[in-house]
Amino acid sequence: MKKLFLLAGAAALASCGDTATEEEMPAEDIAMEAEAPAEGDTSLLGTTWTFTDPEGNEVIETIDADGNYIAETTDGEHLDHGTMVMKDGQGCFTSAMTDEGEVCWTVAPHNVGESQETTGSNGETITVTRAEYTELSMPGA
């Protein structure tokens, strides 16, 4: 839906300009812009976070554009992986490694370098800091 509005807006703006002097933006560039998170966005897709987990591990966690997440210690030890979906403004994570089920976390608008306190549906509260996107991979992949 977001892409549809962006494409419609781009088409409307293009129709207002002088098409003889402006170059058209390739469709793939429009699609890439539509997928990029906006400043202060609350979506977690395509983001990386750092935090200290309840066991005292310094963690880096990346959520890719498809909603898959990987968490590992800053030393590279694999801690968890699974899927994340946004529901009612919360990031809901389901681990492929535990039987805890879905745990949803509060989300506030965030930019790289900003920290926020988040509370999970499991009652845990942690402080997370948004970091530059870092692609992580599964061990052995």
Contact 59, 74 (CB under 8 A): yes
The domain of 28 spans 2-35
> Are 64 and 18 within one domain?
no
**Shared domain check, 120 and 57:** yes
Asked if residue 41 is part of any domain, the answer here is: no
Rounded Cα distance between 52 and 127, Å, is 8
How many CA atoms are closer than 13 Å to the CA of 7, on its beta-carbon side?
Answer: 11
pLDDT in tens, 128-141: 999 999 999 987 66
Instruction: Clarify whether residues 65 and 122 are in a common domain.
Output: yes
Q: What is the pLDDT of residues 28-49, one digit of tens each?
A: 443 333 344 444 457 899 999 9
Q: Which residue has better confidence, 36 or 93?
A: 93
d(CA 86, CA 52): 22
Same domain for 25 and 78:
no
Model confidence pLDDT, tens digit, residues 108-127: 988 999 999 999 999 999 99
